[in-house]
Structure 1
Amino acid sequence: MAGDARLASTPTPMPRRDTTSSKTLVPSEEIAVEYRALREDCVRILQTWLKALSIAGEDRKAWLQGQVTNDLRDFEAGSHLDACVLTPTGQVVSAISLWALEDRFIALVPEGRFDATVERLDRMLILEDVVLEGIAGHRIISVQGPNASRALSQATELPRLSAGPGSGAMEPCLFLRHDATGSGGWTVICPEHQFTTLEEALATTAVCSEATFDVARLEAGIPRNAFDYDENTLVMELGPAFVEANVSFTKGCYTGQEVVHRIYSRGHVNRTWMGLRCEGAVSRGDRIRAAAREDAGKVTSVGWSPESGFIAGALLRREAAVPGSAVTVVSESGPVQARVEHFPLRGR
């Protein structure tokens, strides 16, 4: 469809999962076992909090270059990159992952921001040959960990690059190289009728809970919609590691670029998403105090792992967002001391 392209089909509505992760995460044997499997072998998890969007049409690359924060000039078939869709004033509509196939792009979008993302992109279509289409009738499963490729190779021949269809019985599936936890892995977009076959091929791969997955992505410094950012968050507030991976400062114009470059030139934002290493359990929404200011920020995500102990993500005011500095988290059970660090937390 050229010119007045619209969302060609809408995926079957799914329950919102952006608010189901535990508000307070405490040590458990289940998390410890799953975490070790993820970091040392591989695990599988059904990612019900994501939706897939197809972006097709002859003008898709040139048009999308003007809509996202990262640079698509070298985005050819088999490529992958992360980017954000912004409002004209620089707030994050959604953080997305993109893959290029021969005939279209695939975007994974947070379920809670899918409609807003499509509406924002659709609004910028005028005469371009671009088709936005929700991928319905599919499930999204991720296999994460250092042995993810070996596990999936039992079911299919994996793409040589970062994106492509499977082979044999898995040909209808899309296999997308996707490190969602800091340990490497793949995400598979699988038709409903093929899902049982895929699960059978992965029968010996441990299942991972959403809570454990959330810990791993937090260690890796990957923010999550409705937890760590929302429609009021500026992309530059998500921290230097995220900005480096998601924002290009050498590409041409895109929606929201003026605000991004103004902040980049000025050198700082008023708050930043930072990591916390905590001496005890804290909860999402807990207030944070610092020597520099009483209202230093709030906790956005929490986790516990055998490797990192108690950790958290927090939006901190500029005066408190100092790596190595101490802050106090005001939890329901009393004050908890924490050290501020840049993401990623793992490997430091």
Structure 2
Amino acid sequence: MNSLRYPRSAAVYGIDERADEVQHFGMPLKEQRDLAAGRAVADLSSFRVYTLTGEDRLRWLHSLTTQSLENLPAGTSTETLILSATGHIEHWVRIIAEEDSLWLIFETGGEEAVEWLNSMRFMMRAEITDRTPEFQCVGTVGPAPEGLPVQAEWNDPWPAIGAGSASYAALDLGQEQASPKHPGHTNDLRIQLCPREQLRDWQPGGVAGRDAWEALRIENWRPSPQDVDSKTLVGELDVLRTAVHLAKGCYRGQEAVARVHNLGQVPRRLVFLHVDGSTHTIPRPGAEVYAEVRGAERVIGHLTSTAIHYEYGPVALALIRRGTSPDAQLLVAGDEDEKLPTTVEEIVAFKRENRVGLPQINREVDLRRFGR
């Protein structure tokens, strides 16, 4: 179901859950430029929209997810994660707070997430309602264009380091504020929630496909559900900075988050890759990443998101083994057994000092408890 007006004859659609969402209009690089400049909006019609109402809505969601939500002020845009008992990411929720409700936006897996949340409601006064039939998500860079009917706006907090959170990125590891050099400042990504009835009557100045949105997201080093597999931990994606509060109460998976943060290292780390563009193609997500290990070429990771960027050419996000040297030459599997060279930009740090970035209150507790 897509209520956005656009030239149907030029549209190339996605597959599966994105079957009604426009992937591109045959000019993906122009679409990226227009979106980045605010001359176009992006089709995000595959996103699902829900509202959470009830007196216990904040306390309830706070108790089940990674973010501190109990005192969330109206007008705030944030995100939170639902983890497995072993700390792996299961669901990713974007949140817009209003006076008497929360908007919940799911890029993937919305129905499964809501089913699990409802199973954990018990006596809590909270109710989740599917609003996808009434509202559609539209992506913008910067504020919504004039005339776009907007009910609510999710303003991406990335790359800010939230209170009680921490950065795992090499650029600002251990800092309380995001580095001004962080690429996350490049594109001001926002999601507009638009009433479908009014959206059908709105004539946009330009529409970009989902591919354009993804290219700008990758440029921002911005992880998303597209970068998650069954083993992904929050630290591997540097998503603690916007989605996790390290000093809040217990929730499912918290022990794993705390154990890695205080005592260990993540097993994998996210990197940004410039992929050789001489073939004028880009490998698909899932393509294997190789490096020389003990004198032999071995698989050390895989691509999670890919795009051909309008300025940088083929780019990708990849999850690789944390122990892979930052100086290693990485190769990506291409077509017909070819391996494409890459230039690597480190996102998640190769090595992180334990408890770097831990909130002061936790450090003081450790000093009292262990005398160090």
Would you say the 8 A contact 1:42–1:145 is kept in 2? no
Query: How far does the alpha carbon of each residue in 1:269-291 deviate from its partner, in whole angstroms, 9 at most, with x for none?
Result: 21123221212333322211112
Separation (CA, whole Å) in 2 of partners of 1:263 and 1:315: 17
Would you say the 8 A contact 2:272–2:318 is kept in 1? yes
Separation (CA, whole Å) in 2 of partners of 1:66 and 1:107: 16
Query: How far does the alpha carbon of each residue in 1:278-308 deviate from its partner, in whole angstroms, 9 at most, with x for none?
Result: 1233332221111236120111221111322
**What residue is the counterpart of 2:197 in the other structure?**
193
Query: How far does the alpha carbon of each residue in 1:155-203 deviate from its partner, in whole angstroms, 9 at most, with x for none?
Result: 27xxxxxxxxxxxxx5xx5221334985225433233322223x23xx2
Would you say the 8 A contact 1:50–1:109 is kept in 2? yes
**What residue is the counterpart of 1:155 in the other structure?**
147
Would you say the 8 A contact 1:137–1:191 is kept in 2? no
Query: How far does the alpha carbon of each residue in 1:242-283 deviate from its partner, in whole angstroms, 9 at most, with x for none?
Result: 221211112221221111111112331211232212123333
Letter in 2 for 1:297: G
> 1:21–1:177: structure 2 CA closer, same or farther, 3 Å change rule?
closer
> Is structure 2 residue 237 aligned with structure 1 residue 235?
no
> 1:67–1:53: structure 2 CA closer, same or farther, 3 Å change rule?
same
- Given the two structures, how large is their TM-score scaled by the length of structure 2? 0.72
**What residue is the counterpart of 1:165 in the other structure?**
none
Separation (CA, whole Å) in 2 of partners of 1:325 and 1:18: 39
Would you say the 8 A contact 2:47–2:137 is kept in 1? no
**What residue is the counterpart of 1:283 in the other structure?**
284
**What is the SS of the residue equivalent to 1:94?**
strand
> 1:272–1:68: structure 2 CA closer, same or farther, 3 Å change rule?
same
**What is the SS of the residue equivalent to 1:211?**
helix
Letter in 2 for 1:233: T
Letter in 1 for 2:229: D
> 1:136–1:309: structure 2 CA closer, same or farther, 3 Å change rule?
closer
Match of 2:302 among 298, 303, 317: 298
Would you say the 8 A contact 1:91–1:234 is kept in 2? yes
Separation (CA, whole Å) in 2 of partners of 1:81 and 1:310: 30
**What residue is the counterpart of 1:122 in the other structure?**
118
Query: How far does the alpha carbon of each residue in 1:314-348 deviate from its partner, in whole angstroms, 9 at most, with x for none?
Result: 1211222x54542111212511111332349xxxx
**What is the SS of the residue equivalent to 2:30?**
helix
**What is the SS of the residue equivalent to 2:200?**
helix
Would you say the 8 A contact 1:144–1:183 is kept in 2? no
**What residue is the counterpart of 1:142 in the other structure?**
138
* Counterpart mapping for 1:161-200 below 5 A: 170=149, 173-179=150-156, 183-197=187-201, 199-200=202-203
> 1:282–1:46: structure 2 CA closer, same or farther, 3 Å change rule?
closer
**Deviation of residue 59 (structure 1)?**
0.7
Separation (CA, whole Å) in 2 of partners of 1:116 and 1:273: 26
Query: How far does the alpha carbon of each residue in 1:95-153 deviate from its partner, in whole angstroms, 9 at most, with x for none?
Result: 11111111111110124x1122112212221111111111142242324124x34x2xx
Match of 2:99 among 85, 97, 102: 102
Letter in 2 for 1:96: V
> 1:53–1:62: structure 2 CA closer, same or farther, 3 Å change rule?
same
**Deviation of residue 43 (structure 1)?**
2.0
Would you say the 8 A contact 1:94–1:110 is kept in 2? no
> 1:297–1:343: structure 2 CA closer, same or farther, 3 Å change rule?
same
**What is the SS of the residue equivalent to 1:296?**
strand
> Is structure 2 residue 329 aligned with structure 1 residue 337?
no
> Is structure 2 residue 226 aligned with structure 1 residue 223?
no
Would you say the 8 A contact 2:50–2:132 is kept in 1? no
**Deviation of residue 15 (structure 1)?**
5.5
Match of 1:257 among 237, 242, 254: 254
Separation (CA, whole Å) in 1 of partners of 2:222 and 2:38: 21
> 1:185–1:310: structure 2 CA closer, same or farther, 3 Å change rule?
closer
Letter in 2 for 1:219: E
**What residue is the counterpart of 1:69 in the other structure?**
66
> 1:284–1:342: structure 2 CA closer, same or farther, 3 Å change rule?
same
**What residue is the counterpart of 1:58 in the other structure?**
55
**What residue is the counterpart of 2:370 in the other structure?**
none
> Is structure 2 residue 314 aligned with structure 1 residue 310?
yes
Contiguous gaps of at least 5 residues in structure 1: 1-13, 157-169
Provide the identity percentage: 24
Letter in 1 for 2:141: G
**Deviation of residue 40 (structure 1)?**
2.3
> 1:135–1:20: structure 2 CA closer, same or farther, 3 Å change rule?
closer
Separation (CA, whole Å) in 2 of partners of 1:41 and 1:155: 14
> 1:20–1:326: structure 2 CA closer, same or farther, 3 Å change rule?
farther
**What is the SS of the residue equivalent to 1:252?**
coil
Would you say the 8 A contact 2:55–2:126 is kept in 1? yes
Would you say the 8 A contact 1:51–1:109 is kept in 2? yes
